Amino acid sequence: MKLKNKVAIVTGAGSGIGRTTARTFAAEGASVVVVDIEKKTADETVDSIRKRGQNAVFVRTDVSKGSDVETMVAQTIQKYGRLDILFNNAGIDIAKPIVETTEEEWDRTLDINLKGVFWGCKFSLPPMMDGGGGIIINTASILAHVASPNQAAYSASKGGIIALTRQIAYDYASDNVRANCISPGDVLTPMAKNFFDSCEDPEERMKFFTDRYPMKRFAEPSEIARVALFLASDDSSFITGQAIKVEGGFSIW
């Protein structure tokens, strides 16, 4: 029960890393606000938590809109009276080289991935400070550290997340707020599985990707969730401003 009596917001919690992390936080004692733009999948996350006798509610939010995020935080405070943990996890990827990326695609990627983190931190920091401190965890990517083909907008957005996280960690350390990033490599989420299933030869395509990893596999969502739990708990009490790589050795080549 590492998060007993804590209140946590998890964005992008309708599937994948977000869903698994929401369930992990709830299992460790947190009341979890499940945030997603898709109600159906988020409701499934909430139901899976409640069936285990744990506490969760859904708040539909478009993280690219400041008014939505402000309401998300306000509803959290109204429901639970406090906010201890924010996991900014929602994100998208548009895989294109920069010369083929439209302004609309660039703006959408940056609005969700980077501005979404800005809004989340902007509106979550005041109630955290009022409550004596808090934890911010932002999902970056290994592609904020290394290059990969056709990831201009995505890589830029994730690199921005790391820089923003460092600044928040610096500015609010005296308020007992810690801020860190997780930089995952490829994760075997439902979205990833659907991508490989759509390929002409799924096994060959999967092997092409996993061969880039010394560990020769993708991460499971639970492996990212356990790092999020570590950063959300007192186990990481002297860690702030860091980007923790969880990428099976991808960047050591």
Determine the straight-line distance between the first and last CA of the chain, rounded to whole angstroms: 38
Nearest 5°: phi and psi at 211?
-65, -15
Nearest 5°: phi and psi at 179?
-135, 130
Q: Is the pLDDT of residue 192 over 90?
A: no
b (16+ CB within 10 A) / e for 145-178: beeeeebbbbbbbbbbbbebbbebbeebeeeebb
CA dist., res. 140 & res. 167, Å (int): 15
Q: For Cα atoms 112, 117, 118, give the angle at the middle one, nearest 5 degrees.
A: 105
Per-residue pLDDT band at 190 (split at 50, 70, 90): confident
Per-residue pLDDT band at 210 (split at 50, 70, 90): very high
CA dist., res. 153 & res. 201, Å (int): 28
> pLDDT tens digit string along 28-55?
999 999 999 999 999 999 999 999 999 9
191 to 16, 186, 239: CA distances (angstroms): 8, 11, 31
List active site positions.
154
Q: Is the pLDDT of residue 205 over 90?
A: no
pLDDT of residue 182: 98
Continuous H helices in 12-151: 16-27, 39-50, 66-80, 103-110, 116-130
pLDDT of residue 13: 98
User: Residue 53 has which token pair?
Assistant: 């006798």
pLDDT of residue 197: 87
CA dist., res. 74 & res. 69, Å (int): 9
Per-residue pLDDT band at 202 (split at 50, 70, 90): confident
> pLDDT tens digit string along 86-136?
999 999 999 999 999 999 999 999 999 999 999 999 999 999 999 999 999
On whether the CB atoms of residues 168 and 174 are closer than 8 A, the answer is: no
